[in-house]
Structures are given as C-alpha cells and as structure tokens.
Amino acid sequence: MVKKNISRIQFLRGDYRGRETVIRPPWSRAEETFVQLCTRCGDCLNICPEKILKPGRGGFPQIDFARGECNFCQECQKICTQAAFLATDQRPWFYHVEFNERCLSRNAVVCVTCAEQCEAQAIQFVPRVGNVHQPRINISTCSGCGACYRSCPVGAIQFQKSHAVFSEQPSQRVEAHP
C-alpha cells in the first residue's frame, strides 16, 4: 500500500487523493505559514502584470495558468506588506510539469505545441520507434512558468510538487530527483 500525505485543507475539502495542486504566487512561504500571514488584501492580485493571480479558496491568491504564464517579475512579493513571501534569490517554487493521458503525442498524434512555448527548452520530444516523438521534461531546467500549460490544446499538462525538502532557509532547500 502506498501512503500519500495530504494537507489538512485537502482533507477538509474532500481531496483525499491529493490531486488538486494549488499553486501560490512565486516565492510564497510554506502553505501553512502563507495562509497564516496572508491578509487576503488583494494587492498581489491587482499588481500582477500577467493577471494570472486569482482569489482561491478562502480568498487566498493562487496561480491560474489558463490566464497566462508567470514572468517572475517579483511584483507580488514586493507589494506584500506581510512576511508571506521568501527572498527572491531562491527558487520561486518547487513544481514541475507532468503530462497526463490526454497528451496528443502519447496518443500517436504529432503535437509539439508545449515545447514551442517553452523558453527554457525544458520540454523536449524524444523519438520512439514505431510511434511519434514523446514529450520529456527536464525538471532541473523547468522554471514552472506555465507557458506550456495555456498552449496545450487538450489540457494535458499538470503541475506537481517536486520531491523537495522545503526549508525557508535558502541554504537548506534541496531538491531531490526521484
């Protein structure tokens, strides 16, 4: 049996499998700390130049990549009068892209739209004998900006938390690759 840890919030809203990933603004503190410190004033929602922040459950800001990509401008972090954000010299978040079963390339249809949108070139397509090229994500190169998400014609891109040890001390944040 595989045990999966879910947060209290996921438990209370019935997300027992931990499928719904809420992505807070870049450089947000750990979820529990963030929701304690955030006053839900809406300043970050209003200042976001890409307009990808929206009020989520409880009025806390969350990213909606269907609206666009994050350019990591740091405006949300700068305008926050609380201590809800970390310093911007750290990685903005620990998320990576995964492709679900709707991916056209995984269903023998040629599509490279996501790779064309990826400035970091983190998405590459590798040849498969007897099949179309298959997507592969380089987790260490992916910034998690979301450019690929909006461009996918079938909604096959999901964001998952990377296996990481989260610490609010920059020297103690370590990403572990499975």
Q: Quick one: pLDDT at residue 47?
A: 98
Q: Sign (positive/negative) of CA torsion 116, 98, 67, 88? A: negative
**CATH of 21-93 given 3.40.50, 3.30.70, 3.30.1460, 1.10.3470:** 3.30.70
Task: Count the neighbouring beta carbons within 10 Å of the beta carbon of residue 155.
Answer: 12
More confident residue, 15 or 59: 59
Q: Quick one: pLDDT at residue 162?
A: 73
Can you give the residue ranges of every domain in the chain?
21-93, 97-163
Q: Quick one: fold of 97-163?
A: Alpha-Beta Plaits (3.30.70)
Going by pLDDT thresholds of 50, 70 and 90, the confidence category of residue 39 is very high
Helix, strand or coil, per DSSP, at residue 8: helix
Domains 21-93 and 97-163 alike in fold = yes
Report yes or no on whether pTM surpasses 0.85. no
| Residue 120 in this model has a pLDDT that exceeds 70 | yes
Q: How far apart are CA 151 and CA 149, in angstroms?
A: 6
Going by pLDDT thresholds of 50, 70 and 90, the confidence category of residue 160 is confident
Mean pLDDT of the 54-77 span: 95
Q: Which of 67, 76, 66 is nearest to 24 (CA)?
A: 76
Mean pLDDT of the 76-80 span: 96
